[in-house]
């Protein structure tokens, strides 16, 4: 029960970060918002880890893989923050939900895992769900929708690398290195596009980092009590606060096509997750 509570808390907190990012995107560059997400996350995460988890922070056995993971997540964050600056939070998140499908599609190549016909069928159906949301040929495809889709693709590869690292590196160390990689790279770029924030904008930029830190810490705590594969379907609950924030603060409510695509993608993702669990248990 603790695992479920911590996981749900994590997925309820993270959309608040997205809401602040969308609000700030009207006045600040996406790269500056991304920098804030990393800078303040590291600023709040590092003291927590140093004082409470110092003994667990042993250097990585796979530093190159850690850096690649950090780079992929940085690109995914830039794409997602750009997408929500143009399209609704719900539509962007729905398209990003294809990440588990990407994991399943590429795990035979990158992880050496066997994927049967049923899961391949689920991946195909999930991809159809993303097409329902975008509706190519019916609605003009914009760069923001492609960026949201790109977020899901990159996040899928990020999850594959996370699986590889889970057997060797402590998850807290992985979280810290990921933040440092993204923060350092963003810090090199951000001076060239910097827009001076107001005091209110500074507080929102800090809030992005705080909520990212809290959300990921809740997810890490949930993994202490249950396997990631069993908790994976709970990630789809993120859409609930996402829709509420999008409607209440930005006046965006998903249309019927987005809801239909969301249902198809979630159904496919949950089926894949349950199938993986059943295979592991046999």
Query: What pLDDT, on the 0 to 100 scale, is given for residue 282?
Result: 60
Instruction: Quote the pLDDT of residue 186.
Output: 93
Pick from 38, 100, 118: nearest CA to 74: 38
For position 208, what pLDDT does the model report? 93
DSSP 3-state of 139: strand
Question: Average of pLDDT values for 72-98?
Answer: 92
Q: pLDDT-derived band of residue 41, with 50, 70 and 90 as boundaries?
A: confident
Residue whose C-alpha is closest to residue 92's, from 101, 103, 83 = 83
Secondary structure letter of residue 198 according to DSSP: P
Beta bridge partners of 139: 136
**pLDDT over 70 at 166, yes or no:** no
Ranges of each domain in the chain: 2-281
Residue 134: pLDDT band (50, 70, 90) is: confident
Residue 268 and residue 130: Cα distance in Å, rounded? 11
pTM of the model: 0.88
Burial of 116 (0-12, 13-18, 19+ CB in 10 A): exposed
Mean pLDDT of the chain: 85
Q: Is the dihedral of CA 150, 153, 159, 164 positive or negative?
A: negative
**Chain segment 236-268, per-residue pLDDT in tens:** 888 889 999 999 998 888 888 888 988 998 888
User: Among 53-57, 70-74, 90-94, which is the least confidently predicted range?
Assistant: 53-57
Say if CB 33 and CB 25 are below 8 A apart.
yes
Residue 146's pLDDT band (cuts 50, 70, 90): very high
**Residue 270 binned pLDDT confidence (cut-offs 50, 70, 90):** confident
Give the model's pLDDT for residue 82. Answer: 95
Nearest alpha-carbon partner for 93 in 265, 226, 211: 265
Up-side HSE of residue 42: CA atoms within 13 Å toward CB?
18
Average pLDDT (192-202) is 94
Distance CA 105, CA 81 (A): 25
Residue found under tokens 């096509």? 257
Report residue 168's pLDDT band, with 50, 70 and 90 as the boundaries.
Answer: low
């Amino acid at each position: 029960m603790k695992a479920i509570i911590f996981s749900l808390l994590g997925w309820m907190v993270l959309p608040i970060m997205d809401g602040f990012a969308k609000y700030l995107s009207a006045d600040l560059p996406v790269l500056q918002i991304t920098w804030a997400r990393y800078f303040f996350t590291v600023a709040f995460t590092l003291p927590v880890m140093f004082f409470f988890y110092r003994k667990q922070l042993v250097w990585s056995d796979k530093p190159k893989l850690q850096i690649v993971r950090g780079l992929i997540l940085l690109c995914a964050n830039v794409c997602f923050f750009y997408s929500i600056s143009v399209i609704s939070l719900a539509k962007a998140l729905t398209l990003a939900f294809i990440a588990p499908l990407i994991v399943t599609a590429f795990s035979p190549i990158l992880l050496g895992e066997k994927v049967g016909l049923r899961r391949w069928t689920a991946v195909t159906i999930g991809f159809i769900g993303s097409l329902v949301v975008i509706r190519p040929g019916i609605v003009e495809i914009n760069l923001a929708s492609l960026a949201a889709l790109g977020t899901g693709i990159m996040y899928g590869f990020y999850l594959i690398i996370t699986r590889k690292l889970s057997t060797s590196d402590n998850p807290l160390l992985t979280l810290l290195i990921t933040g440092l990689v993204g923060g350092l790279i963003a810090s090199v770029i951000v001076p060239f596009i910097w827009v001076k924030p107001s005091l209110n904008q500074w507080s929102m930029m800090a809030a992005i980092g705080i909520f990212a830190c809290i959300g990921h810490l809740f997810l890490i705590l949930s993994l202490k009590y249950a396997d990631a594969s069993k908790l994976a379907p709970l990630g789809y609950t993120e859409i609930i606060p996402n829709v509420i924030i999008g409607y209440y603060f930005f006046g965006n409510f998903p249309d019927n096509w987005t809801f239909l695509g969301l249902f198809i993608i979630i159904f496919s993702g949950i089926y894949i997750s349950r199938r993986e669990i059943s295979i592991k248990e046999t």
